[in-house]
A and B are shown apart, each in its own frame.
Chain A
Amino acid sequence: MTAVIQEFINEYGELLLDGTWETLVMTIVSTLVAYVIGIPVGVLLTISGPGALRPNRVLHTVLGWIVNIGRSIPFIILLVAMIPLTRLLMGTSLGVAGAIPPLIVSAAPFVGRMVEQSLAEVDDGLIEAAQSFGASTWQVVTKVLLFESLPSLVRGAAITFINLFGYSAMAGTVGAGGLGDIAIRYGYQRYQYDVMVVSVVLCVILVQIFQSLGNVLARRIDHHSR
Protein backbone atom coordinates (compact mmCIF):
# COMPACT_ATOMS: atom_id res chain seq x y z
CA MET A 1 0.00 0.00 0.00
CA THR A 2 2.73 2.44 1.03
CA ALA A 3 4.63 1.45 -2.06
CA VAL A 4 1.65 2.32 -4.21
CA ILE A 5 1.29 5.71 -2.55
CA GLN A 6 5.04 6.30 -2.81
CA GLU A 7 4.95 5.51 -6.51
CA PHE A 8 1.94 7.78 -7.05
CA ILE A 9 3.69 10.63 -5.28
CA ASN A 10 6.86 10.09 -7.27
CA GLU A 11 4.93 10.03 -10.50
CA TYR A 12 2.40 12.83 -9.93
CA GLY A 13 3.46 14.65 -6.75
CA GLU A 14 5.16 17.53 -8.51
CA LEU A 15 2.39 17.80 -11.07
CA LEU A 16 -0.27 18.09 -8.37
CA LEU A 17 1.81 20.50 -6.30
CA ASP A 18 2.30 22.72 -9.34
CA GLY A 19 -1.42 22.43 -10.10
CA THR A 20 -2.32 23.48 -6.58
CA TRP A 21 0.04 26.42 -6.78
CA GLU A 22 -1.35 27.50 -10.18
CA THR A 23 -4.91 27.24 -8.93
CA LEU A 24 -4.09 29.34 -5.88
CA VAL A 25 -2.31 32.00 -7.96
CA MET A 26 -5.19 32.25 -10.44
CA THR A 27 -7.81 32.41 -7.72
CA ILE A 28 -6.06 34.77 -5.33
CA VAL A 29 -4.89 37.24 -8.00
CA SER A 30 -8.27 37.37 -9.73
CA THR A 31 -10.13 37.71 -6.41
CA LEU A 32 -7.91 40.64 -5.41
CA VAL A 33 -8.25 42.45 -8.73
CA ALA A 34 -11.99 41.71 -8.83
CA TYR A 35 -12.28 43.47 -5.45
CA VAL A 36 -10.23 46.43 -6.62
CA ILE A 37 -12.86 46.90 -9.34
CA GLY A 38 -15.87 45.55 -7.44
CA ILE A 39 -15.64 47.68 -4.28
CA PRO A 40 -15.95 51.02 -6.12
CA VAL A 41 -18.73 49.52 -8.25
CA GLY A 42 -20.61 48.32 -5.16
CA VAL A 43 -20.11 51.67 -3.42
CA LEU A 44 -21.34 53.60 -6.47
CA LEU A 45 -24.36 51.32 -6.81
CA THR A 46 -25.16 51.90 -3.15
CA ILE A 47 -24.75 55.65 -2.94
CA SER A 48 -26.38 56.40 -6.32
CA GLY A 49 -29.58 54.54 -5.45
CA PRO A 50 -32.90 56.36 -4.93
CA GLY A 51 -32.93 58.14 -1.58
CA ALA A 52 -29.30 57.20 -0.92
CA LEU A 53 -26.33 59.48 -0.19
CA ARG A 54 -25.88 60.77 -3.74
CA PRO A 55 -28.91 59.71 -5.79
CA ASN A 56 -28.09 59.56 -9.49
CA ARG A 57 -30.60 57.72 -11.60
CA VAL A 58 -28.54 57.59 -14.79
CA LEU A 59 -25.39 56.29 -13.11
CA HIS A 60 -27.37 53.81 -11.01
CA THR A 61 -29.25 52.43 -14.01
CA VAL A 62 -26.28 52.22 -16.38
CA LEU A 63 -24.03 50.66 -13.77
CA GLY A 64 -26.79 48.20 -12.86
CA TRP A 65 -27.11 47.15 -16.50
CA ILE A 66 -23.38 46.68 -16.97
CA VAL A 67 -23.23 44.56 -13.83
CA ASN A 68 -26.21 42.46 -14.91
CA ILE A 69 -24.82 41.91 -18.39
CA GLY A 70 -21.45 40.96 -16.93
CA ARG A 71 -23.09 38.49 -14.61
CA SER A 72 -25.32 36.92 -17.23
CA ILE A 73 -22.60 35.89 -19.70
CA PRO A 74 -21.74 32.23 -19.06
CA PHE A 75 -18.13 31.93 -17.95
CA ILE A 76 -17.21 29.39 -20.61
CA ILE A 77 -18.39 31.79 -23.33
CA LEU A 78 -16.53 34.70 -21.74
CA LEU A 79 -13.40 32.58 -21.60
CA VAL A 80 -13.44 32.03 -25.36
CA ALA A 81 -14.80 35.44 -26.36
CA MET A 82 -12.11 37.23 -24.39
CA ILE A 83 -9.18 35.43 -26.04
CA PRO A 84 -8.17 38.40 -28.26
CA LEU A 85 -8.34 40.83 -25.33
CA THR A 86 -6.50 38.42 -23.08
CA ARG A 87 -3.72 38.07 -25.66
CA LEU A 88 -3.49 41.83 -25.87
CA LEU A 89 -3.29 42.25 -22.09
CA MET A 90 -1.19 39.27 -21.04
CA GLY A 91 0.62 38.34 -24.23
CA THR A 92 -0.95 34.89 -24.12
CA SER A 93 -4.35 33.31 -23.77
CA LEU A 94 -2.93 30.13 -22.26
CA GLY A 95 -1.86 29.06 -18.84
CA VAL A 96 -2.39 30.86 -15.57
CA ALA A 97 -1.80 34.29 -17.13
CA GLY A 98 -4.41 33.60 -19.80
CA ALA A 99 -7.04 32.55 -17.25
CA ILE A 100 -6.76 35.58 -14.99
CA PRO A 101 -8.41 38.28 -17.18
CA PRO A 102 -11.61 36.29 -17.87
CA LEU A 103 -11.77 35.29 -14.21
CA ILE A 104 -11.58 38.97 -13.21
CA VAL A 105 -14.15 40.06 -15.76
CA SER A 106 -16.58 37.41 -14.62
CA ALA A 107 -16.02 38.09 -10.91
CA ALA A 108 -15.93 41.91 -10.77
CA PRO A 109 -19.68 42.42 -11.42
CA PHE A 110 -20.46 39.67 -8.94
CA VAL A 111 -18.24 41.37 -6.36
CA GLY A 112 -20.01 44.66 -7.11
CA ARG A 113 -23.34 43.10 -6.14
CA MET A 114 -21.86 41.38 -3.09
CA VAL A 115 -20.42 44.68 -1.86
CA GLU A 116 -23.72 46.46 -2.56
CA GLN A 117 -25.50 43.78 -0.54
CA SER A 118 -23.08 44.11 2.39
CA LEU A 119 -23.35 47.90 2.44
CA ALA A 120 -27.15 47.69 2.35
CA GLU A 121 -27.02 45.88 5.69
CA VAL A 122 -25.61 48.96 7.40
CA ASP A 123 -28.31 50.66 9.47
CA ASP A 124 -29.51 53.92 7.90
CA GLY A 125 -29.49 55.42 11.39
CA LEU A 126 -25.69 55.14 11.46
CA ILE A 127 -25.39 57.04 8.19
CA GLU A 128 -27.68 59.72 9.56
CA ALA A 129 -25.70 59.89 12.80
CA ALA A 130 -22.44 60.30 10.89
CA GLN A 131 -23.99 63.03 8.76
CA SER A 132 -25.29 64.78 11.86
CA PHE A 133 -21.65 65.15 12.97
CA GLY A 134 -20.75 66.71 9.64
CA ALA A 135 -19.37 63.68 7.78
CA SER A 136 -18.87 64.15 4.04
CA THR A 137 -20.05 61.51 1.58
CA TRP A 138 -16.49 60.17 1.33
CA GLN A 139 -16.24 59.97 5.13
CA VAL A 140 -19.59 58.20 5.36
CA VAL A 141 -18.45 55.66 2.75
CA THR A 142 -15.05 54.95 4.26
CA LYS A 143 -15.68 55.39 7.97
CA VAL A 144 -19.21 54.06 8.21
CA LEU A 145 -20.39 52.00 5.23
CA LEU A 146 -17.22 50.04 4.50
CA PHE A 147 -16.04 49.87 8.09
CA GLU A 148 -19.33 48.77 9.61
CA SER A 149 -19.86 46.13 6.93
CA LEU A 150 -16.34 44.68 7.15
CA PRO A 151 -17.40 41.29 8.59
CA SER A 152 -20.03 40.94 5.88
CA LEU A 153 -17.49 41.95 3.21
CA VAL A 154 -15.10 39.29 4.46
CA ARG A 155 -17.83 36.63 4.26
CA GLY A 156 -18.58 37.81 0.73
CA ALA A 157 -14.90 37.57 -0.17
CA ALA A 158 -14.82 33.93 0.93
CA ILE A 159 -17.80 33.19 -1.32
CA THR A 160 -16.20 35.06 -4.24
CA PHE A 161 -12.92 33.23 -3.73
CA ILE A 162 -14.62 29.84 -3.83
CA ASN A 163 -16.66 30.78 -6.90
CA LEU A 164 -13.47 31.78 -8.69
CA PHE A 165 -11.83 28.60 -7.52
CA GLY A 166 -14.55 26.67 -9.33
CA TYR A 167 -14.28 28.87 -12.41
CA SER A 168 -10.52 28.41 -12.52
CA ALA A 169 -11.13 24.68 -12.86
CA MET A 170 -13.41 25.44 -15.81
CA ALA A 171 -10.66 27.54 -17.32
CA GLY A 172 -8.68 24.30 -17.28
CA THR A 173 -10.67 23.15 -20.30
CA VAL A 174 -8.86 25.72 -22.41
CA GLY A 175 -5.49 24.91 -20.95
CA ALA A 176 -5.32 27.31 -18.06
CA GLY A 177 -3.33 25.00 -15.82
CA GLY A 178 -4.18 24.31 -12.22
CA LEU A 179 -5.97 21.43 -10.53
CA GLY A 180 -9.00 21.64 -12.82
CA ASP A 181 -6.77 21.32 -15.83
CA ILE A 182 -5.11 18.23 -14.34
CA ALA A 183 -8.43 16.62 -13.46
CA ILE A 184 -9.66 17.11 -17.03
CA ARG A 185 -6.50 16.08 -18.84
CA TYR A 186 -5.71 13.02 -16.78
CA GLY A 187 -9.14 11.90 -15.72
CA TYR A 188 -11.39 12.87 -18.58
CA GLN A 189 -9.03 12.49 -21.49
CA ARG A 190 -6.66 9.74 -20.33
CA TYR A 191 -8.92 7.80 -17.93
CA GLN A 192 -6.38 8.09 -15.11
CA TYR A 193 -9.01 8.25 -12.44
CA ASP A 194 -6.54 8.14 -9.52
CA VAL A 195 -5.02 11.47 -10.60
CA MET A 196 -8.47 12.93 -11.18
CA VAL A 197 -9.73 11.84 -7.76
CA VAL A 198 -6.68 13.20 -5.97
CA SER A 199 -6.94 16.57 -7.71
CA VAL A 200 -10.63 16.80 -6.89
CA VAL A 201 -9.89 15.91 -3.26
CA LEU A 202 -7.25 18.64 -3.20
CA CYS A 203 -9.88 21.08 -4.49
CA VAL A 204 -12.28 20.04 -1.75
CA ILE A 205 -9.62 20.49 0.93
CA LEU A 206 -8.62 23.93 -0.36
CA VAL A 207 -12.23 25.13 -0.51
CA GLN A 208 -12.80 23.92 3.06
CA ILE A 209 -9.69 25.72 4.25
CA PHE A 210 -10.59 29.02 2.62
CA GLN A 211 -14.21 28.94 3.73
CA SER A 212 -13.09 28.25 7.30
CA LEU A 213 -10.50 31.01 7.14
CA GLY A 214 -13.18 33.42 5.94
CA ASN A 215 -15.58 32.36 8.70
CA VAL A 216 -12.98 32.62 11.44
CA LEU A 217 -11.76 36.02 10.26
CA ALA A 218 -15.30 37.39 9.91
CA ARG A 219 -16.21 36.18 13.38
CA ARG A 220 -13.06 37.65 14.91
CA ILE A 221 -13.63 41.11 13.50
CA ASP A 222 -17.39 41.19 14.07
CA HIS A 223 -18.33 42.98 17.30
CA HIS A 224 -21.98 43.36 16.49
CA SER A 225 -23.47 40.74 18.79
CA ARG A 226 -21.33 39.09 21.38
Chain B
Amino acid sequence: MIQFEHLHKSYGEGREAHEVLHDINLDIRKGEVFGILGSSGAGKSTLVRCINLLERPTKGKVVIDGKDVTDASGARLAELRSSIGMIFQNFSLFQQRTVLRNITFPLELNHVAKAERTARAEKLLDMVGLAGYGDRYPSQLSGGQQQRVAIARALANNPSIMLCDEATSALDSTTTVQILDLLRRINREMDVTMVVITHSLSVARSICDRVAMIDGGRIVEEGETEALFANPQSDILKALIASANAQNTRRADEADGTGRSDTKNSEVK
Protein backbone atom coordinates (compact mmCIF):
# COMPACT_ATOMS: atom_id res chain seq x y z
CA MET B 1 0.00 0.00 0.00
CA ILE B 2 2.83 2.37 0.89
CA GLN B 3 6.26 1.78 -0.61
CA PHE B 4 9.48 3.64 -0.12
CA GLU B 5 12.03 2.96 -2.83
CA HIS B 6 15.63 4.00 -2.19
CA LEU B 7 14.43 7.04 -0.33
CA HIS B 8 16.96 9.64 0.79
CA LYS B 9 16.39 12.91 2.57
CA SER B 10 18.98 15.59 3.26
CA TYR B 11 18.68 19.08 4.64
CA GLY B 12 20.89 21.80 3.22
CA GLU B 13 22.95 21.57 0.07
CA GLY B 14 26.45 20.80 -1.11
CA ARG B 15 29.08 20.45 1.56
CA GLU B 16 26.72 21.47 4.35
CA ALA B 17 24.14 18.85 3.42
CA HIS B 18 23.05 16.75 6.35
CA GLU B 19 21.50 13.41 5.56
CA VAL B 20 18.62 12.39 7.81
CA LEU B 21 17.31 9.40 5.84
CA HIS B 22 19.51 6.97 3.97
CA ASP B 23 18.32 4.51 1.35
CA ILE B 24 14.99 3.61 2.93
CA ASN B 25 13.15 0.67 1.40
CA LEU B 26 9.88 -0.36 2.96
CA ASP B 27 6.63 -1.98 1.93
CA ILE B 28 3.73 -1.23 4.26
CA ARG B 29 0.82 -3.54 3.55
CA LYS B 30 -2.82 -2.64 3.30
CA GLY B 31 -4.72 -3.04 6.55
CA GLU B 32 -1.75 -3.51 8.85
CA VAL B 33 -0.49 -1.44 11.75
CA PHE B 34 3.11 -0.71 10.92
CA GLY B 35 5.43 0.60 13.61
CA ILE B 36 8.44 2.80 13.04
CA LEU B 37 10.54 2.47 16.15
CA GLY B 38 13.54 4.60 17.01
CA SER B 39 14.96 7.07 19.47
CA SER B 40 14.55 10.81 19.01
CA GLY B 41 16.50 12.17 16.07
CA ALA B 42 16.57 8.79 14.34
CA GLY B 43 14.55 10.17 11.41
CA LYS B 44 11.21 8.50 12.06
CA SER B 45 9.17 11.73 11.94
CA THR B 46 10.83 12.77 8.70
CA LEU B 47 10.21 9.33 7.20
CA VAL B 48 6.52 9.34 8.03
CA ARG B 49 6.14 12.91 6.71
CA CYS B 50 7.43 11.66 3.36
CA ILE B 51 4.19 9.69 3.07
CA ASN B 52 1.95 12.77 2.93
CA LEU B 53 4.81 14.86 1.54
CA LEU B 54 5.01 17.28 4.44
CA GLU B 55 8.66 16.45 3.77
CA ARG B 56 9.91 16.04 0.22
CA PRO B 57 12.38 13.22 -0.37
CA THR B 58 15.70 14.33 -1.85
CA LYS B 59 16.02 11.10 -3.82
CA GLY B 60 13.96 7.97 -4.33
CA LYS B 61 10.26 7.29 -4.63
CA VAL B 62 7.14 7.19 -2.51
CA VAL B 63 4.48 4.92 -3.99
CA ILE B 64 0.96 4.82 -2.58
CA ASP B 65 -1.65 2.42 -3.92
CA GLY B 66 0.64 1.66 -6.84
CA LYS B 67 0.98 5.32 -7.83
CA ASP B 68 4.21 7.27 -7.64
CA VAL B 69 3.26 10.35 -5.61
CA THR B 70 6.75 11.72 -4.97
CA ASP B 71 6.23 14.83 -7.10
CA ALA B 72 2.53 15.41 -6.42
CA SER B 73 1.56 19.06 -6.15
CA GLY B 74 -1.49 21.30 -6.30
CA ALA B 75 -4.85 19.56 -6.45
CA ARG B 76 -3.25 16.12 -6.63
CA LEU B 77 -1.30 16.77 -3.45
CA ALA B 78 -4.41 18.07 -1.67
CA GLU B 79 -6.30 14.96 -2.77
CA LEU B 80 -3.50 12.68 -1.58
CA ARG B 81 -3.39 14.40 1.80
CA SER B 82 -7.18 14.17 2.12
CA SER B 83 -6.88 10.41 1.91
CA ILE B 84 -4.27 10.27 4.69
CA GLY B 85 -5.25 11.21 8.24
CA MET B 86 -2.63 12.27 10.74
CA ILE B 87 -2.45 12.65 14.53
CA PHE B 88 0.31 14.26 16.55
CA GLN B 89 2.09 14.03 19.90
CA ASN B 90 0.70 17.36 21.09
CA PHE B 91 -2.70 16.80 19.45
CA SER B 92 -2.41 20.02 17.36
CA LEU B 93 -6.03 20.95 17.85
CA PHE B 94 -7.19 24.41 16.81
CA GLN B 95 -7.62 26.25 20.09
CA GLN B 96 -10.10 28.84 18.83
CA ARG B 97 -12.40 26.25 17.29
CA THR B 98 -14.89 24.09 19.12
CA VAL B 99 -14.41 20.33 19.17
CA LEU B 100 -17.01 20.02 16.42
CA ARG B 101 -15.34 22.62 14.22
CA ASN B 102 -11.97 20.93 14.72
CA ILE B 103 -13.42 17.71 13.36
CA THR B 104 -15.14 19.43 10.44
CA PHE B 105 -11.94 21.30 9.50
CA PRO B 106 -10.74 18.77 6.88
CA LEU B 107 -14.25 18.73 5.40
CA GLU B 108 -14.34 22.52 5.29
CA LEU B 109 -11.16 22.44 3.24
CA ASN B 110 -12.96 20.27 0.70
CA HIS B 111 -16.04 22.53 0.69
CA VAL B 112 -18.38 19.85 2.05
CA ALA B 113 -21.82 21.31 2.87
CA LYS B 114 -22.33 22.39 6.47
CA ALA B 115 -25.15 20.00 7.37
CA GLU B 116 -23.17 17.08 6.02
CA ARG B 117 -20.03 18.20 7.88
CA THR B 118 -21.88 18.41 11.16
CA ALA B 119 -23.57 15.05 10.72
CA ARG B 120 -20.25 13.40 9.94
CA ALA B 121 -18.54 15.05 12.92
CA GLU B 122 -21.31 13.99 15.32
CA LYS B 123 -20.94 10.42 14.12
CA LEU B 124 -17.19 10.49 14.62
CA LEU B 125 -17.52 12.06 18.07
CA ASP B 126 -19.79 9.20 19.03
CA MET B 127 -17.28 6.70 17.65
CA VAL B 128 -14.38 8.07 19.72
CA GLY B 129 -16.57 8.12 22.84
CA LEU B 130 -17.07 11.88 23.08
CA ALA B 131 -20.73 12.26 22.09
CA GLY B 132 -22.05 15.56 23.39
CA TYR B 133 -18.64 17.24 23.55
CA GLY B 134 -19.05 19.11 20.25
CA ASP B 135 -19.52 22.57 21.72
CA ARG B 136 -16.53 22.47 24.04
CA TYR B 137 -13.14 23.95 23.32
CA PRO B 138 -9.92 21.87 23.33
CA SER B 139 -8.58 23.71 26.41
CA GLN B 140 -11.53 22.33 28.38
CA LEU B 141 -10.57 18.70 27.65
CA SER B 142 -8.04 16.29 29.14
CA GLY B 143 -5.09 15.09 27.06
CA GLY B 144 -6.76 11.78 26.27
CA GLN B 145 -9.96 13.52 25.21
CA GLN B 146 -7.99 15.93 23.04
CA GLN B 147 -6.28 13.05 21.28
CA ARG B 148 -9.68 11.44 20.69
CA VAL B 149 -10.85 14.65 19.04
CA ALA B 150 -7.69 14.65 16.92
CA ILE B 151 -8.40 11.05 15.91
CA ALA B 152 -11.95 11.98 14.92
CA ARG B 153 -10.58 14.91 12.92
CA ALA B 154 -8.07 12.63 11.18
CA LEU B 155 -10.93 10.32 10.17
CA ALA B 156 -13.22 13.07 8.86
CA ASN B 157 -12.27 12.52 5.22
CA ASN B 158 -12.62 8.73 5.46
CA PRO B 159 -8.89 8.17 4.92
CA SER B 160 -7.45 4.82 3.92
CA ILE B 161 -4.20 5.58 5.76
CA MET B 162 -3.58 7.10 9.16
CA LEU B 163 -0.23 8.40 10.40
CA CYS B 164 0.30 8.50 14.16
CA ASP B 165 3.26 10.60 15.25
CA GLU B 166 4.08 9.65 18.87
CA ALA B 167 0.34 9.84 19.48
CA THR B 168 0.51 8.58 23.05
CA SER B 169 3.81 10.08 24.21
CA ALA B 170 2.13 12.97 26.00
CA LEU B 171 -0.38 10.73 27.77
CA ASP B 172 -0.30 8.74 31.00
CA SER B 173 -0.23 4.95 30.82
CA THR B 174 -3.93 4.31 31.40
CA THR B 175 -4.92 6.81 28.73
CA THR B 176 -2.25 5.39 26.43
CA VAL B 177 -3.86 1.96 26.63
CA GLN B 178 -7.28 3.45 25.83
CA ILE B 179 -6.01 5.43 22.87
CA LEU B 180 -4.12 2.42 21.49
CA ASP B 181 -7.28 0.32 21.83
CA LEU B 182 -9.21 2.96 19.91
CA LEU B 183 -6.57 3.04 17.15
CA ARG B 184 -6.63 -0.74 16.92
CA ARG B 185 -10.40 -0.70 16.63
CA ILE B 186 -10.27 1.89 13.86
CA ASN B 187 -7.69 -0.20 12.06
CA ARG B 188 -9.89 -3.29 12.18
CA GLU B 189 -13.38 -1.85 11.79
CA MET B 190 -12.69 0.90 9.29
CA ASP B 191 -9.92 -0.89 7.46
CA VAL B 192 -7.48 1.98 7.92
CA THR B 193 -3.82 1.18 7.35
CA MET B 194 -1.81 2.70 10.18
CA VAL B 195 1.76 3.90 10.39
CA VAL B 196 2.74 4.40 14.00
CA ILE B 197 5.85 6.34 15.00
CA THR B 198 7.02 5.54 18.48
CA HIS B 199 10.08 5.42 20.71
CA SER B 200 8.23 3.09 23.07
CA LEU B 201 8.68 -0.67 22.90
CA SER B 202 5.43 -1.26 24.75
CA VAL B 203 3.45 0.82 22.25
CA ALA B 204 5.04 -1.07 19.36
CA ARG B 205 4.40 -4.37 21.09
CA SER B 206 0.77 -3.65 21.89
CA ILE B 207 -0.54 -2.51 18.50
CA CYS B 208 1.96 -3.06 15.69
CA ASP B 209 1.70 -6.03 13.35
CA ARG B 210 5.13 -5.30 11.97
CA VAL B 211 7.90 -2.99 13.04
CA ALA B 212 10.91 -1.34 11.42
CA MET B 213 13.70 -0.22 13.71
CA ILE B 214 15.31 2.98 12.50
CA ASP B 215 18.60 4.42 13.71
CA GLY B 216 20.71 7.22 12.30
CA GLY B 217 18.40 7.57 9.30
CA ARG B 218 18.73 3.91 8.30
CA ILE B 219 16.43 0.97 8.78
CA VAL B 220 18.46 -1.45 10.84
CA GLU B 221 15.91 -4.25 10.94
CA GLU B 222 12.27 -4.99 10.34
CA GLY B 223 9.84 -7.84 10.76
CA GLU B 224 6.76 -9.21 12.51
CA THR B 225 6.60 -7.58 15.94
CA GLU B 226 6.66 -10.77 18.05
CA ALA B 227 9.44 -12.40 16.05
CA LEU B 228 11.51 -9.25 15.92
CA PHE B 229 11.36 -8.61 19.65
CA ALA B 230 11.95 -12.27 20.51
CA ASN B 231 15.09 -12.39 18.43
CA PRO B 232 16.55 -8.91 17.89
CA GLN B 233 19.57 -8.71 15.59
CA SER B 234 20.69 -5.10 15.83
CA ASP B 235 22.60 -3.78 18.83
CA ILE B 236 20.26 -0.86 19.20
CA LEU B 237 17.13 -3.01 19.48
CA LYS B 238 18.90 -5.47 21.79
CA ALA B 239 19.88 -2.56 24.02
CA LEU B 240 16.36 -1.14 23.96
CA ILE B 241 14.84 -4.47 24.95
CA ALA B 242 17.43 -5.05 27.67
CA SER B 243 16.81 -1.67 29.23
CA ALA B 244 13.03 -2.16 29.09
CA ASN B 245 13.39 -5.54 30.79
CA ALA B 246 15.64 -4.09 33.47
CA GLN B 247 13.12 -1.38 34.13
CA ASN B 248 10.30 -3.89 34.32
CA THR B 249 12.20 -6.00 36.84
CA ARG B 250 12.99 -2.97 38.93
CA ARG B 251 9.36 -1.90 38.92
CA ALA B 252 8.19 -5.35 39.83
CA ASP B 253 10.58 -5.34 42.80
CA GLU B 254 9.38 -1.93 43.88
CA ALA B 255 5.76 -2.98 43.57
CA ASP B 256 6.45 -6.07 45.70
CA GLY B 257 8.17 -3.97 48.31
CA THR B 258 5.57 -1.27 48.70
CA GLY B 259 2.45 -3.12 47.66
CA ARG B 260 1.45 -0.40 45.22
CA SER B 261 2.50 0.57 41.78
CA ASP B 262 2.82 4.03 40.38
CA THR B 263 0.56 3.93 37.35
CA LYS B 264 1.99 7.10 35.92
CA ASN B 265 5.40 5.51 35.47
CA SER B 266 4.42 1.97 34.69
CA GLU B 267 4.66 2.45 30.94
CA VAL B 268 7.63 0.63 29.48
CA LYS B 269 9.66 3.05 27.46
Contact = CB atoms under 8 A, between A and B. Distances in A.
Contacts of B81: 131-134
B139 A139 contact: no
Contacts of B106: 133-134
B108 interface: yes
Interface in A115-137: 123, 125-126, 128-136
A25 B44 CA distance: 57
A22 interface: no
8 contacts: A125-B92, A130-B105, A132-B52, A132-B54, A134-B81, A143-B108, A143-B109, A147-B97
A181 interface: no
A111 to B, nearest CB: 21
B58 interface: no
B104 to A, nearest CB: 11
Given A134-B81, A134-B109, A126 B140 contact: no
Contacts of A139: 109
A134 B139 contact: no
A148 B84 contact: no
B88 interface: yes
Interface in A133-158: 133-136, 139, 143-144, 147-148, 150-151
B180 to A, nearest CB: 21
A123 B92 contact: yes
A152 to B, nearest CB: 10
Interface residues of B, number: 31
Contacts of A148: 94-96
Contacts of B163: 132
A224 interface: yes
Given A130-B109, A133-B105, 5 more contacts: A125-B92, A132-B54, A134-B77, A134-B81, A226-B137
B88 A125 contact: yes
A136 B153 CA distance: 18
10 closest A-B pairs by beta carbon, nearest first, are A134-B81, A134-B78, A129-B92, A223-B137, A133-B106, A132-B86, A125-B92, A224-B95, A134-B82, A148-B96
Contacts, number: 71
B139 to A, nearest CB: 5
A136 B76 CA distance: 12
**Which of the four size classes fits the interface of chain A?**
20 to 34
Interface of A: 123, 125-126, 128-136, 139, 143-144, 147-148, 150-151, 221-226
Interface string B136-152: 01111000000000000
Nearest to A123: B92
Nearest to A221: B96
Interface in B118-161: 137-140, 153, 156-157
B96 A151 contact: yes
Interface in B80-108: 80-82, 84-86, 88, 90, 92, 94-97, 105-106, 108
A128 B139 contact: no
